[in-house]
Structure formats: C-alpha cells, structure tokens
A and B are shown apart, each in its own frame.
Chain A
Amino acid sequence: MVSKQVKGLLLWGSLVVVGWLLALFWVPPDQSQGEVYRILYLHVPVSFAAFFSAGVLCWHSIQALIKPNVGALLSQRAAVEVGLVFTILTLATGSIWGKPTWGVWWTWDARVTTTLILAVLFASYLIFYDAIPSELGRMKTCSILGIVIAADIPIIYKSVNWWRTLHQPQTIIRSGGASMSSEMLYLLIYCAITMLVFGFWLIRQRRHTLILSKQLEEQQLSQFS
C-alpha cells in the first residue's frame, strides 16, 4: 500500500520534474548565455523556496515569542532544515552556473556572500537548537535567531541594487517589466510555484516527523519514570 506521504512526494515531485523537463527540452536557448541558462530554472526556484522557508521561520519565531509553544518551535526547526537544503542547492547550482558564465566557481560577490551568510545562519540555528537543553531557553534564543535569519532575506534580495556586483540584476520583478520572453517567464513562474509548493510540503512532513520524535521521547521518559 502506498502511503499518503509517498503519494505526496510523487505528486508534488512530479510537478517539479515536469517544469525541469520543459526547461531542458522545450524553451529555446538564451540569446546571450546559450544552453547553460537552463540551470536558472532550478537555481531561481530553489532560491525562492529558501526565502519562503525563512519566511515560515520568521512567522513561527514571532508566534513563539508572543506565546511560547512547542508546536511553533518544531515548525521553526522544520523550516530551518528545509531552508538549509534549499540554500545549499542555491549556492551549488549558482556556482555551477557561474563557472561557464563568469569563468569562476566562486566569487565574493554581494549576493553570493549574503546567500552564504544565510546558509551559515541556518546551520547555526540547528547548532543552537541542539545545544540548549532547556526548552524555554531554546525557544527564546532560536526565535530571536529566526528573526535575524529572516532579516537577511531583504538584504540578499536588494544586494544587487545596493552594491556593485557581478550577479545579474533583478530580471523578473523590476520596473519596466521582466527582461525575458513570455514563454521563458511563464515557465520560470511555473517552476517557482511548484518548487514553493514542494518546499511547503517538505516543511509539513518534517514537522510531522519532529512531532513523532517528541512523542516517542515523552513515551520513553514516562516508561522509565
């Protein structure tokens, strides 16, 4: 019997894969970048999903600070883990795209560096989460850190305007409309939406696993006491 979770993975995963196949075989090559720009149909959506995870983290951090509750803390942790996966993937695909386009695997460009800071902040959240033994202390520290992490998102987004960078400026949301042909743009929007849905599904599944883990811990403690 195929479980609900496997069905979810297959459904949302296949919608993501359809976008990837269209990006690989359907859209025409870019006039200036050629074939390698197809990587952007993965790179841009995963970066949006990383931003979305930080948004979810911020929402649950504010909730936990206003009214401390374990559910919000578990949601934070799930969002951070998924966000870290998406951020690592953003950096990796950006680096692979950068090699044929910029000629280097890595450069200390403003947007790349601020994204690396996001990955380090996500990782530091996980370290703090596991290192603080008291639940209330963990909730307070992690919630404050969660808001700090979310504050990095507008910095990443505006970095191409605030500093002189190698990274290309905003191509989709900008004054004067998107600088892409409509078929390229619609496919990018499709890929972004399906990736956000897949990211949301991942956060929910991970939260469910964390709840189960908590229940197991409590049952084991009650058996031994």
Chain B
Amino acid sequence: MGTNLFYIMLSYGLGTGFLFGYGVWVIHHARKLEKRLSVLGK
C-alpha cells in the first residue's frame, strides 16, 4: 500500500502542478500583456 500510495500521489501531484501551473501562468501572462497594452494605449 505504501509504494502504491507513492505512485498515486506522484501522479496526482504532477497533474495538479502541470494543469494548474499552466493555467496560472496563462492568466498571469495575459494580465502582464493587458497592462503593457494599456500603457502603450495612453
């Protein structure tokens, strides 16, 4: 059970990191671009 738990947690840890990490990066990148666009638009 201990070894299986390690594999299960490793998988779900990677899943959380990849999917939510990418999602947060996309949102953060969009915000940065929006700010730069608003500065240029002034």
Contact = CB atoms under 8 A, between A and B. Distances in A.
Interface of A: 3, 5-6, 9, 13, 16, 20, 24, 34-36, 38-39, 42-43, 46, 82, 85, 88-89, 92-93, 96-97, 99-100, 198, 202, 205-206, 208-209, 212-213, 215-216, 219-220, 223
A216 B36 contact: yes
Contacts of B14: 89, 92-93, 96
Given A13-B19, A39-B8, A216-B40, 18 more contacts: A5-B27, A5-B30, A13-B23, A24-B8, A34-B4, A42-B15, A46-B15, A85-B19, A89-B19, A92-B11, A93-B14, A96-B7, A97-B7, A100-B4, A205-B27, A206-B26, A209-B30, A219-B41
A20 B7 CA distance: 15
Nearest to B22: A85
Nearest to B20: A13
A35 B8 contact: yes
User: Which of the listed residues B5, B12, B29 has the most CB atoms from chain A within 10 Å of its own CB?
Assistant: B12
11 contacts: A5-B30, A13-B19, A35-B4, A39-B7, A82-B22, A88-B18, A96-B11, A97-B7, A202-B19, A215-B37, A223-B40
A93 B15 contact: yes
A9 B7 contact: no
Interface residues of B, number: 28
A185 B11 CA distance: 20
A42 B30 CA distance: 28
A208 B30 contact: yes
Interface string B24-42: 1011011101101100110
A159 B22 CA distance: 30
Given A42-B15, A202-B22, A202-B23, A35 B5 contact: yes
A82 B22 CA distance: 9
Most buried by B among A34, A36, A198, A220: A36
Contacts of A92: 11, 14, 18
B8 A36 contact: yes
B34 to A, nearest CB: 6
B25 to A, nearest CB: 9
Contacts of A205: 23, 26-27, 30
